[in-house]
Structure 1
Amino acid sequence: MTTIDKTLLTASLFEGFWDRWIVHGVSYHDLAKLRHSIITKEHWFKTWSELAEEKYTMAESIKKVGLVEQAEFIYRTAALYYQLNQWLIPEHGGEKLDWLKQSLRVVKKADQLSDYKTEYVEFPIDEHRYYGRVRIPNNPKGVIIIINPIDSTKEELFSYEMDFVEKNYIVVSFDGPGQGETYTRHGLKATRVCWERFVDMVIEYSSNTFPAQDIFLFGTSSGAAWAIYGSSNKKVSKVVAVSPAFRNEEIQMPDYFMERMFAVSDEEIIPDYAQINLQGPVLLVHGKKDVMVKDEDIYGLFDNLPSGKILLKYEEEGHCCNYRLPEIRTKAMEWFQGKWGVKGEF
C-alpha cells in the first residue's frame, strides 16, 4: 500500500483521525459526505474540492450583501478544504503545490476582508526561503508566534490566528522546514539543525520588527517541543506548550503518519530537552488520555522547567487537547497578561 492508501484507510476506520480537522474548521455535515462512502484518492480530491468551491461561492454571495465578517470566515473554511487535498500528498511540488496555491488564493481573499492588516513575509536562512504571514491589530498587546506541528501549515491553524489577533496580539506564523510553502515550493526537509535556525530566526525577526512588544510562543505537538526550545531565547517572555512531542521509541505511531514524516525528514526532529538551556516561564498543557505522550515524560519535563512554570491538565482530552483548544488559547492570553498563574498544577 502507498502512503496515501494507508492514510485513506485510517481516515475510513478511525473516528479520531478527523479530530484535528474538525477542531480546525471542518464541519461534521461536510465530513459526512466523505465518510459515508469508500474513500479513494479521487473521491477525496473531488469531495473536498467541490465543498471548497461551494464555500467559496457562498462567501462571494454573502460578501455582496455586506456580510463581510461571515464571508471572511467562509473563505477561510474553503481554503482549509483545499488544504486537505494538498495535505494528502506527501511529496512536494506537482499536484500538492497546485492544491496549496488554490488554498493560498482563497486565504488572500479572506485576508482582504479582514479588519486586521496581513503581511506576507519571506526570509532566507542558509540559502533556503521560508514563508510566513503576520497579522497586525491596531493596538497590540504583544506578539504571539505560533509554532505549527510538523504536519500542519500556517493556514490550517487559522482559528488560532483569529483568536489571538482579535484579542489585539500581533500573530506571526511561518512554515518551517518540512512544512507548507517552505516544503512544497522548494522541497526543504526538516532537520534538527534547520529547525533550531528557523525558530531562532523567527524570534529574531519578531523582535526586530516589533521591538516594543513582548514576545510569546504558542505551539502544539512537535510545535510545542520547538516552542520549549524557544524558551531558551532571552527575547521570549513566556511559552505555551500543548502536548509537546518527545523522543520515545516505545510510542508506536501509525504507519501512514511515519511514512509522511519520512517524506519531509530523514532524521528525528524533536529537540532533546535535556540539552536546552531552559530559561523562560512555560505553561505546559497535557491531556491525560494522550496516547502519544506519556504522563511520566510530561511530569519529568515539568520538574526540569524553570520558575514560573504551570502544568494544566485535562482528564478527558487526548493529544493536543483538541476539544479544549479554544479554552486553552483564552487561558494562554490571560496568562500572557499576568491575569492568572500561580506556580503549580491545575
Structure 2
Amino acid sequence: MAQFDYPVGYHDFHKTKIIDYQMNRWYSMGYTRKEDMVDAATRIKKLEDWKEEMIKQAEKAIDEKRIMNGTFYYRAAEFFTHPNDPDKLRLYDTFIEMFYNDLFVEHDIERYNIPYENVYLPAMRLPSNNKNARGTIVIHGGFDSFMEELYSMASYFAHLNYEVILFEGPGQGGALKKSGLALSYEWEKPTKAVLDYFKLNDVTLLGVSMGGWLCFRAAAHEQRIKRVIALSIAYDYMKIPPPIIEKFALWLFKHPKLMYWMADVKMKMMPQEKWGTDNLIYITKTDTPLDGGMALLEFNAAHLKSEHVTQDVLILTGSEDHFIPLKMHDIQVKALTNAKSITERIFTRDDHAHNHCQVGNFGLALRVMANWLNEKE
C-alpha cells in the first residue's frame, strides 16, 4: 500500500486565488511536484489555459515515468474543464484508468459498485495492515470530489491498521458521471446504502470540504455512526456571506429576471464565478443559475439537524479558509447541542494549515485526526 509525504507550506503559485488553491491542493496531498506547479503557473493566465497546460504536465510526467504526477495532472485538468466540453468525461476516464490500472494496479485496493436507486454508487475499500483492524473509517468528499483524490488520506489510516472505505454519493465522481445522480442534501441515504452493503455497525464517518456538512446530516439519522470528523464545516450555505448579502440574495430568488441579468454580468466579468456557477448547475443537474442556487439553498441549518447529532465529534477548521469564513465554526459548534463530545481545532498560519481543508499542512490534520481517534476508541 502506498505511503505519502505531505509537504508543509502554502505557496503563492498563482495570483488568481481559485487557481492557486487547486495547485496547492494536489501538491499538499502528496500527488504532484512543486516545480511542476511553478512551471505551469507561468503559462496559465486565465481559467481557459488550465486544461491544456495540465494535460501537457501530465504527458511530460508520464514520459519521465512519474506516473503518480501524471495521473493526478489528468485529474487536475478535468477540474476546470467546462461541463459542456467533451474532454471533461474523457479526462475523467483517463484519470480513473490510470489510477487503478497503472498507478495502483499492484496495491491492495478493492472496488465496489453499491446498488442505489436502480443505479450504483462507486466505493473503494482498503483493508487494514493485518486481520485485527482497529475499526472502520468511512470517508467521503463534498461538492465536486472524487473518492480517488482522497486516497492518500485513506492510505494513511490503513497504515494505522484501520479498515477504510471511501464512497461517492450523488453529485460526486462516478455517481454523477456514470450513474447520473444529482447532488442531494439527504446524505443519510447513500451513507445507509454503504453501511448496509458492508454490514457495518460501528464506524467513524469522515467528511471532507462540503462533506463536513454532509457527514453531520448523515450522523443525525444514522446511529451506526459512532464518531464524526468534519474536515471543514459550513452549517448553512446562505449564512456564509454577511447578513445584508444573505437578505439581498434571498430577495433576488424572488426576482428571477433580475437575478439572471446580474448572474450573467458577474460571470462575464469574473471567469471563476462563471466556472463556479456552471459547475453548480452540472452537479445538481439543473438548467439555470436560479435552479442551481435553489438546490444549494437546501444545504441549510434546518436540513442539517445538528441537534440530532449524538456522536463524538471532531471539527477541523482553517482560520483563513477562503471558502468558509471562520464565523461558521462557532455557529456549528454551538448548534451541536446533543453531541456526546465535541473536540475542535482551528489551524492558524503558524500551523501552515490555515486554508480550506488544511491544505498547506495536510499531514498535521491527519495526525490530529489519528490522535483524536486514539482517545475516543
Q: Same fold (TM over 0.5)?
A: yes
Secondary structure in 1 matching 2:308: coil
Q: CA deviation at 1:275?
A: 5.9
State the alpha-carbon separation in 2 of the partners of residues 177 and 292 from structure 1. 21
- C-alpha spacing 1:217/1:90, structure 2 compared with 1 (3 Å): farther
User: Aligned pair in 2 of structure 1 residues 144, 77: CA closer, same or farther (>3 Å)?
Assistant: farther
How far apart in 2 are the matches of 1:78 and 1:276?
A: 44
1:322 aligns with 2:359: yes
Q: Deviations over 1:35-75 (max 9, x none)?
A: 1124467753333223323333444xxxxxxxxxxxxxx53
CA shift digits 1:202-222 (9 cap, x unpaired): 23334x1x56xx411112221
CA positional deviation for 1:167: 1.5
Residue 334 of structure 2 aligns to which amino acid in structure 1?
D
Q: Which has the higher contact order (CA 8 A, sep 6+)?
A: 2
| Cα root mean square deviation, aligned | 2.8
The answer (yes or no) to whether the contact 2:141–2:208 under 8 Å persists in 1 is: yes
- In the other structure, the counterpart of 2:212 is 224
Corresponding residue of 1:53: 59
| 1:274–1:185 Cα change, 3 Å | closer
Aligned to 1:65: none
Structure 2 partner of 1:307: 340
Task: Give me the whole-angstrom Cα distance separating, in 2, the residues matched to 1:192 and 1:259.
Answer: 19
- 1:70 aligned residue: none
- DSSP-derived class of the 1:37 partner: coil
Report the secondary structure of 2:23's partner residue: helix
Aligned amino acid, residue 110 of structure 1: L
- Provide the residue aligned with 1:152 in structure 2: 145
Give the aligned partner of residue 33 of structure 1: 39
Partner of 2:96: 104
**Maintained 8 Å contact 1:283/1:311:** yes
SS in 2 for 1:50: helix
1:274 aligned residue: 305
Task: Return the offset for 1:156.
Answer: 1.6
Measure the CA separation in 2 of the matches of 1:152 and 1:49: 19
Matches within 5 A, 1:53-72: 53-59=59-65
User: How do residues 1-346 of structure 1 correspond to structure 2 at under 5 angstroms?
Assistant: 13-14=16-17, 15-24=20-29, 25-39=31-45, 43-59=49-65, 74-91=66-83, 94-108=86-100, 109-114=102-107, 117-139=108-130, 140-193=133-186, 195-206=187-198, 208=199, 214-232=202-220, 233-249=222-238, 251=240, 255=273, 256-265=275-284, 266=292, 267-268=295-296, 270=299, 272-274=303-305, 277-305=308-336, 306-316=339-349, 317-338=354-375
1:44 partner letter: W
* Aligned residue pairs, count: 310
Task: Give the corresponding residue for 2:247.
Answer: none
3-state DSSP class of the match of 1:309?
strand
The verdict on how the C-alpha distance between 1:126 and 1:187 changes in structure 2, with shifts beyond 3 A counting, is closer
Q: Which runs of 5+ in 1 are unaligned?
A: 1-9, 60-73, 341-346
CA contact (8 A) 2:28 2:361 kept: no
**Partners of 1:87 and 1:180 in 2: how far apart?**
11
